[in-house]
Amino acid sequence: MIPESAIADLRARVDLQALVSEYVKLKRSGASWKGLCPFHNEKSPSFFVHPERGFFHCFGCGASGDVFAFLIRLEGLSFPDAARRLAERVGVELPSEDPQRDAEQRRARAAMERLLAVVDAAAGFFIEQVDGHPLGPMARAAWRARGISDETARTFRLGYAPDGWDGLIDHLRQRGYAASDAEAVGLIVPRRQPEGAPRRKAEPGFYDRFRHRLMFPITDHQGRIVAFSGRLLDPPPGAPPEREPGAKYVNSPEGPLYTKGQILYGLHEGRVEIRRRGWALLCEGNFDLVALHQAGFPNAVAPMGTALTDAQGKLLRRFAERVVLLFDGDAAGHKAVRAAFDVLAKVGLDASVVNLPPGQDPDSFLRTHGAEALTAQIDAAPGIVEHLIDDAAAQGCRDASEKARAIASLGPVLAQVASPLEARLHIERIARRFSVPDIEAVRRQLRQGLREERSPASAEAPPPKPRPATERYSKVELEGLGVILDLGLWREPEARRFGELLTSADLCAIFDTASHLVEREGVEAPALLRELHGNEALPWLEGRLARPEHVDRDEGLEMLRTCIPLLQKRWVAARKQQIQDGLLAAVRAGDQARANELRMELQALLRGAAQRMGARGDDGDESSRFEDHDGA
């Protein structure tokens, strides 16, 4: 176990706002910072970071906590792993939990660094071969033919894999890199033993995976080269004709450094610009990506030869607020848009779609029409739902049955639209595009499509959402308790009187717990939340701690003095109801003594209330700000 003192020291040392800013674009909001929540889909910022309290909270999904909670939730780490990550961040060495495990982790890091060094050495070799190999200029000619400048090629570290079988492996061996490491990262491939040949005792031979190809190094979002993508070049002059042409692209296999569904090509180069602009341009091909960056779209990224994955969507969500899809204008491109919609909707990224002319990709469009024309296309790009509706309608439904199926296919799409108004507008668009004047018939067909896609388990109705705190608790109690939390007024007579008059058990528990913490060690947000685990008012408390009201001490005390008479009125009403219920039960049970006792208590309660109201000369309704609307 990591000692609590070490955890507290880390919590104090780590700048929560700086940490969160690496994942979320934050803007100052008073003493807090706000941005789009990285944990759920939202269009308006409801995620707040309060650096002074070391605490974050989302008013949309309820996510909240300290630096540890943020890393654990966002990165999927265990608590010890999050603590180690934070310790490395601030240069602190944690007390060893398990010396053997620590040693294993050090060995794993050393092995990772060794593999990264092999890949980086290979990238340097490929770059050298552009000028150092007789056929290297073919790579330069290939990128120049696509309009890529030599400067852009240097930025993306484009290179040439020599024609031959052992150019790279010899280079790595001469520099002391192990063949086993080069094989682990997919740079070389073991030669097959002929069938029937005696088994060699020595290490088998290897050959280079990439041969006579234009090489694109692939970096992760931290800028480390983890893989390569090699594009086929024209055959060397005088080479004998091949039986079958090689694959257009050969990519590194997945391994300890590289999982293609977790990498976005160009993200490291474009991450700063994506944060600045707030949106990313999503394309498909290597040349498309490089051409877009060169043409003034440095916020472009591309998945590595696969449909957009959930992991890539989450990675993109860290840096962007919305995405513009720029896929090829063919059937495969249209299919990729539909697949991308599910991922983007799940991670909460708004999206629009550029409709390229049939047969064109971003690279060819730029070379034909230029960057200004593409900018105009991006500015005019319809939302992804509008695009999917228009695309479904444009498929050419030959009869009513095909039209019905096309409409039904849009049901799962509209089910992911959060805004009822947006959904209604989309339904009207579907009716127009398919020439169906009966809106209700369109709704039924969309619901049918949704039912067909859902499994029986997922078709069950979701549980009802709990009522928000503003509906379940008195506004007077919430406002007063919030002021006490914000200003730390626990020892003031007004605060103590306020606590005595609380009628909500959940809010009483918050008041009592915080008061006890004050006496022991002071109120810190993480400690208070831990003590109140399971309290139904916890979402309200998290929000209040993350985004306090900005009032000074005198104003806060005056607010409490305003709240107290209103609370007294509520407390009297609640107690009156309790006594009347007990009186009715006593009469029904024939307990005359208990009934008389309760009548006397009720009379005393009402007299005391009348005297307090008479002393104030009003009905207790001093401030409309605290007026209750919950029917209490």
Q: Which of the two residues, 109 and 284, has the higher pLDDT score?
A: 284
* Contact (Cβ atoms closer than 8 angstroms) between residue 564 and residue 497: yes
Rg over CA atoms, the chain? 33
Percentages (nearest 5) of helix, strand, coil residues in the chain = 55, 10, 35
pTM over 0.85: no
Average pLDDT over residues 469-478: 73
Comparing C-alpha atoms, which of 367, 259, 352 is closest to residue 305? 259
- Give the Cα-Cα-Cα angle 286, 289, 293 (nearest 5 degrees): 145
Q: Which of the two residues, 353 and 223, has the higher pLDDT score?
A: 353
For residue 624, is pLDDT > 50?
A: no
- Name the phi and psi angles at 336, rounded to 5: -65, -35
Measured in whole angstroms, the distance separating CA 551 from the mean position of its chain's CA atoms is 33
The end-to-end CA distance of the chain, in Å, is 48
For residue 470, is pLDDT > 80?
A: no
pLDDT band for 242, please (50, 70, 90 cuts).
low
Residues composing the chain? 632
Read off the pLDDT of residues 159-180 as tens digits, 9 standing for 90 and up.
999 998 999 999 999 999 999 9
Average pLDDT over residues 61-67: 88
Least confident of 51-55, 73-77, 229-233, 375-379: 73-77
pLDDT at 458: 42
- Name the phi and psi angles at 48, rounded to 5: -120, 140
* Contact (Cβ atoms closer than 8 angstroms) between residue 10 and residue 90: yes
User: How many whole angstroms separate alpha carbon 599 and alpha carbon 582?
Assistant: 10
pLDDT at 523: 62
- pLDDT winner (highest mean) among 189-203, 435-449, 553-567: 435-449
* Contact (Cβ atoms closer than 8 angstroms) between residue 306 and residue 335: no
Residue with tokens 């109201």: 613
* Contact (Cβ atoms closer than 8 angstroms) between residue 303 and residue 312: yes
Mean pLDDT taken over the chain:
83
User: How many whole angstroms separate alpha carbon 619 and alpha carbon 286?
Assistant: 74
Q: Within a 13 Å sphere around the CA of 428, how many CA atoms are in the beta-carbon half?
A: 6
For residue 223, is pLDDT > 60?
A: yes
Q: Which of the two residues, 627 and 536, has the higher pLDDT score?
A: 536
User: How many whole angstroms separate alpha carbon 251 and alpha carbon 238?
Assistant: 27
Comparing C-alpha atoms, which of 405, 412, 407 is closest to residue 459? 412
Read off the pLDDT of residues 255-310 as tens digits, 9 standing for 90 and up.
999 999 999 999 988 887 887 788 999 998 899 999 999 999 999 999 987 789 99
pLDDT at 386: 94
Helix axes 475-487, 505-520, angle to 10 degrees: 10
pLDDT at 463: 46
Q: In the structure, how many helices (H) and strands (E) does the chain have?
A: 28, 16
* Contact (Cβ atoms closer than 8 angstroms) between residue 426 and residue 417: yes
Comparing C-alpha atoms, which of 169, 8, 2, 216 is closest to residue 96? 2
For residue 142, is pLDDT > 90?
A: yes
Measured in whole angstroms, the distance separating CA 385 from the mean position of its chain's CA atoms is 21
DSSP letter string over 364-385?
Answer: HHHHHH-HHHHHHHHHTPPBHH
- Name the phi and psi angles at 111, rounded to 5: -65, -40
Helix axes 331-347, 310-319, angle to 10 degrees: 60
pLDDT band for 354, please (50, 70, 90 cuts).
very high
User: How many whole angstroms separate alpha carbon 586 and alpha carbon 599?
Assistant: 11
Beta strand 322-325 with 279-282 is parallel
pLDDT at 547: 65
Q: H/E/C letters for each residue in 478-545? A: HHHHHHHHHHCCCCCHHHHHHHHHCCCHHHHHHHHHHHHHHHHCCCCHHHHHHHCCCCCCHHHHHHHH
User: How many whole angstroms separate alpha carbon 66 and alpha carbon 595?
Assistant: 53
Count CB neighbours of 513 within 10 A.
Answer: 18
DSSP letter string over 430-467?
Answer: HHHHTT---HHHHHHHHHHHHHHHS-TTTTSPPPPPPP
* Contact (Cβ atoms closer than 8 angstroms) between residue 24 and residue 36: yes
The two three-digit tokens of residue 105, written as one number: 């982790």
Average pLDDT over residues 426-432: 92
For residue 460, is pLDDT > 50?
A: no
pLDDT band for 74, please (50, 70, 90 cuts).
confident
pLDDT at 468: 55
Return the amino acid letter for 96.
Answer: S
pLDDT band for 456, please (50, 70, 90 cuts).
very low
52: which DSSP letter?
Answer: G
Average pLDDT over residues 595-620: 67
For residue 459, is pLDDT > 70?
A: no
User: How many whole angstroms separate alpha carbon 345 and alpha carbon 356?
Assistant: 22
- Name the phi and psi angles at 330, rounded to 5: -120, -175
